[in-house]
Every structure is written in structure tokens, then in C-alpha cells.
């Protein structure tokens, strides 16, 4: 199963202006800071509860996403990877965590940006291979539980949504 996405939510203490991430994402392209080939930045802040600011790449996109009015860093893997579901999940999770670390350390956000690494969502961006059904949940729940040991994991969303789970570590 491919196209694994991980969204790590902003901590409530964050006070950034989402538009301020645009020049930072442009710098990431210029300085080749990510392992993926990065191509462009698109800003959709005018869309209510929308995709926010996108850093578009060949293999993956990064974004400061505001879907459902929940601001967070979204890693969206588009290209296939070799390996097991857990290996692919680990790659997406680690890429999201690294991007969060990089943003928190950026001087543009000094003291203004913090991610809550205990609250995240994982979804599979492929409705054909992973519909948001009880069957997909039954298949992936053991894999998710093994990876996020000790975390509370619950399936969320409507049947027409992407398969998505909320992961919370208290």
C-alpha cells in the first residue's frame, strides 16, 4: 500500500501567520533541504479550511494544511516506495517529523511555532486500494498499532473520505 500521508498538528501555543511559510518553503527548494525533488510553492490560504500552503515535490508534497480548520504539517507521499506497510509508514512519519523540526528551528518562526507530536493523523491517499471501510480498518489496524505502540488509534471520517486514523499519545 502506497501514498501514505501523515499530518502533525500545531500546538495550541503556536502563533504564526501561515503566509509566513511561503518564503521558507521557497528557501527549502533553493537549498535542497529535503531528500525529495522539490518543484514549486502554491498558496491556497484564501480557501476556507483548505490545503493552506503547498510545497510541491516530485515524490512528495509538504504543506501547512488547514483542512477541517486544523492547522498542521502534512507530508503527502505520492511516489511508490519499496517495502512493507510499516516501512512506508515509518518513512512518511519520519519525513513529517523532520519537516516539523526544520520549521520549528527556522529563525522566521523563533518562539512562534510548535508542533504537537502526540497528535497526528495518518491516511492513505488511494480510495481504490484503501477505501474508508471497516475492512480496511481491520487490515491496517494491527499494522498501525504495532508501529504506534501504546497510542490510541481510531478510524475517523465518513465512508466517502480517504481512509484516515487519528493517533493520540497522552
- Residue 14 has a pLDDT of 85
Mean pLDDT, the chain, rounded, equals: 93
Phi, psi (deg, nearest 5) at residue 9: -80, 150
Q: Where are the beta strands (DSSP E) in 83-139?
A: 115-124
Residue 121 lies in a domain: yes
Residue 131 lies in a domain: no
Q: Which residues have C-beta within 8 Å of that of residue 33, sequence separation ≥ 6?
A: 27, 102
User: pLDDT tens, 120-143?
Assistant: 999 998 888 898 999 999 999 999
Cell numbers linked to 69: 480548520
Average pLDDT over residues 70-88: 93
- Residue 128 has a pLDDT of 86
Record the pTM.
0.93
Residue 157 lies in a domain: no
Q: Tell me: pLDDT of 13 over 90.
A: no
Residue 165 lies in a domain: no
User: pLDDT tens, 20-37?
Assistant: 999 999 999 999 998 899
Q: Give the range of the structural domain holding residue 110, as residue numbers without chain letter.
A: 4-125
**Which alpha helices (DSSP H) does 15-59 contain, by range?**
21-31
- Residue 2 has a pLDDT of 85
Q: Tell me: pLDDT of 1 over 80.
A: no
- Residue 157 has a pLDDT of 87
User: pLDDT tens, 48-61?
Assistant: 898 999 999 999 99
- Residue 134 has a pLDDT of 92
Residue 113 lies in a domain: yes
Residue 80 lies in a domain: yes
The C-alpha atoms of residue 84 and residue 134 are separated, in whole angstroms, by 21
- Residue 129 has a pLDDT of 87
Number of structural domains (the chain) is 1
Residue 155 lies in a domain: no
Q: Tell me: pLDDT of 77 over 90.
A: yes
- Residue 159 has a pLDDT of 86
- Residue 106 binned pLDDT confidence (cut-offs 50, 70, 90): very high
Residue 45 lies in a domain: yes
Cell numbers linked to 153: 488509534
4 and 89 Cβ atoms separated by less than 8 Å:
yes
- Residue 115 has a pLDDT of 95
Amino acid at each position: 500500500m502506497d501514498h501514505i500521508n501523515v499530518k502533525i498538528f500545531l500546538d495550541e501555543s503556536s502563533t504564526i501567520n501561515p503566509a509566513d511559510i511561503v518564503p521558507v518553503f521557497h528557501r527549502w527548494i533553493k537549498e535542497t533541504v529535503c531528500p525529495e525533488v522539490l518543484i514549486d510553492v502554491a498558496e491556497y490560504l484564501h480557501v476556507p479550511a483548505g490545503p493552506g500552503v503547498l510545497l510541491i515535490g516530485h515524490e512528495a508534497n509538504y504543506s501547512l494544511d488547514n483542512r477541517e480548520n486544523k492547522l498542521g504539517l502534512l507530508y503527502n507521499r505520492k511516489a511508490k516506495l519499496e517495502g512493507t506497510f510499516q516501512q512506508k509508514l515509518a518513512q512518511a512519519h519520519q519525513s513529517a517529523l523532520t519537516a516539523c523540526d526544520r520549521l520549528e528551528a527556522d529563525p522566521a518562526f523563533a518562539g512562534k511555532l510548535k508542533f504537537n507530536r502526540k497528535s497526528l493523523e495518518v491516511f492513505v491517499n488511494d480510495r481504490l486500494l484503501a477505501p474508508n471501510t471497516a475492512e480496511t480498518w481491520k487490515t491496517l489496524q494491527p499494522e498501525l498499532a504495532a508501529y504506534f505502540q501504546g497510542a490510541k488509534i481510531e478510524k475517523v471520517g465518513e465512508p466517502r473520505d480517504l481512509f484516515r486514523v487519528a493517533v493520540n499519545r497522552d
